Chain A
Amino acid sequence: MGHDMDTQETTILTLALIAAGVLAVILFYFIFTMIRQHRKTRLLHYEKIEAEVRTLERERLRIANDLHDDLGPMLAAIKFKVTSVEPLHKDDELMIQKVCEHIDEMLTRIREIAFDLMPNALSRKGLIPTLEELIPKAQKMFPLKIHFTYEDESIPLRSDTVIHLYRIILEIIHNTIKHSKATELNMKLSITEKQVIFESKDNGIGFDIIKVNEEQSGGLGLINLQTRTEIMRGEMKVHSYPGGGVWYYLQIPLK
């Protein structure tokens, strides 16, 4: 009887241990599947946003080129033809002068739009000369003083990295002009062999970072910054408090 009891108890114990082992295997398999799935999801996410942004940039480049190379020369040709007309009356001469002024305005506007879409200097000269070209334009148009300093070890950056960095900096300038009511913006860019670091600070009204964090209510501007930072596998920190301006810190690994 005692021996039967022992056998029965050993069987129960063995079964319980087997059940525990099976449960452990199932749980570990579940956890590792989650990790694998997460990696796949992240990879797909990166591929998707990269494809979206690449398409967007390609379209911008195409439109900018069309404006600059097709519409620009066409308007210049129209202006040439208009100025070659011999006016018979004083009124006609004034009319031709006005048409030429309009054409000049249109040419300037087309150049501005083409620059906004995709600055030529970005691919020809690189990031820093383009920013040096952009900053005086922004200062002329808006009551904002921009101090820009940089440390550049003449490291060649990938063209897509240059475009992403340019767009991020442009977005920060745009946010400062649109929302911060700042009068000064300090920007510092450092490009080394290992990483790119960009830092900016304005003296505007700032915003409540804790509220934005809790509500997860970053606007479209912040989402754009996040998307481009993600594509470059970088990290961006935004710090602010009401009345304290906004501080951006961007770190992009190059290796």
Chain B
Amino acid sequence: MGFSIIIAAIIGCIRFNSINSSFYPFVLVVIGGFCNHTLSFLLIKFLQSNTVNGNIYVLLESLCYLWLFINWKLFNKKLWPAFALMTVLLCIWILDNLIIHSLYIPNALFRIVSSLIIVFCAVEQLVQLIPKAKGNLLKNAIFIICSGLLLHFSFKACIEVFFLISKNVSLHIQTNIYSVLIYVNCFVNLLFAWAMIWIPRKQQYLLLR
């Protein structure tokens, strides 16, 4: 199911040169997500663990999303709040993966914090978008992406919190609970493919409507 990201990745690759440059971080995350998933698949098959690449990918993914929000002018052209958030994320990642825990185990702390930051940014972006957006929201790439981020990272934050506080539950329960995130992830990947279709082209003109 994780490979459902391939649809969005293919559309992203095809449209990369023609789309508005502010969406590049999103396309990079989607293509990166596909590469990471493929790498994880191979690593699990041959080395039985995809933890290291997973821990690195979540950092790059959250930084790319913040870059995306900067491009969408979420921080009102001020760069310092975005850089402050990036610094916070980087510090927590170092703390979680290099100081408190190891890079070789799946670390929940960074995943929880980054998920919450992305959820807050997505909500803020949606609130800013509603009065300004013209036309059908279901064909608005920013709305679709933010809805996808909201869904995915809300579930992710909840599940990571669950894993953090209930370490004694069996692997069977963990797998069952994690499967919820897999279904959500699959749905969000399809949403991202839909969003990829509606990313506006590079504008050589002013669009008044």
Is the CB–CB distance between B204 and A209 below 8 Å?
A: yes
Q: Which residues of A contact B169 (CB under 8 A)?
A: 9, 12
Is the CB–CB distance between B173 and A9 below 8 Å?
A: yes
Is the CB–CB distance between A35 and B137 below 8 Å?
A: yes
Is the CB–CB distance between A235 and B209 below 8 Å?
A: yes
Is the CB–CB distance between A31 and B147 below 8 Å?
A: yes
* Count class of interface residues, chain B: 20 to 34
A225 within 8 Å of B (CB atoms)? yes
* Count class of interface residues, chain A: 35 or more
Q: Which residues of B contact A229 (CB under 8 A)?
A: 208-209
In the assembled complex, the Cα of A16 lies from the Cα of B181 at a distance in Å of 12
Q: Which residues of A contact B205 (CB under 8 A)?
A: 209, 237-240, 247, 249
| Interface membership of chain A positions 164-183, coded 1 if the CB is closer than 8 angstroms to chain B and 0 otherwise | 00000000000000000000
In the assembled complex, the Cα of A213 lies from the Cα of B170 at a distance in Å of 55
B42 within 8 Å of A (CB atoms)? no
B72 within 8 Å of A (CB atoms)? no
> A20-49: which residues lie under 8 A (CB-CB) from chain B?
20, 23-24, 27, 30-31, 34-35, 37-38, 41-42
Highest count of chain A CB atoms <10 Å: which of B150, B154, B172, B205: B205
- How near does chain A come to B159, taking the closest CB pair, in angstroms? 8
Q: Which residues of A contact B100 (CB under 8 A)?
A: none
> B152-171: which residues lie under 8 A (CB-CB) from chain A?
154-155, 158, 162, 166, 169-170
Q: Which residues of B contact A209 (CB under 8 A)?
A: 203-206
Given contacts A9-B170, A37-B130, contact A230 B155 (CB under 8 A): no
- How near does chain B come to A88, taking the closest CB pair, in angstroms? 65
Is the CB–CB distance between A20 and B158 below 8 Å?
A: yes
Highest count of chain B CB atoms <10 Å: which of A19, A30, A38, A212: A38
A72 within 8 Å of B (CB atoms)? no
Is the CB–CB distance between B206 and A230 below 8 Å?
A: no
| Interface membership of chain A positions 228-253, coded 1 if the CB is closer than 8 angstroms to chain B and 0 otherwise | 01100011111110000001010000
In the assembled complex, the Cα of A248 lies from the Cα of B125 at a distance in Å of 31
With A16-B173, A30-B150, A225-B208 already in contact, 9 other A-B pairs whose C-beta atoms are closer than 8 Å:
A9-B170, A12-B166, A16-B162, A17-B180, A20-B180, A27-B154, A226-B209, A236-B209, A237-B206
Ordered by A's residue number, 26 sampled pairs between the chains whose C-beta atoms are within 8 Å are: A9-B169, A9-B173, A12-B173, A13-B176, A13-B177, A20-B158, A23-B154, A23-B155, A30-B150, A35-B138, A38-B133, A41-B130, A42-B134, A209-B203, A212-B206, A213-B203, A222-B206, A226-B209, A230-B134, A230-B208, A237-B205, A237-B206, A237-B208, A238-B206, A238-B208, A239-B205
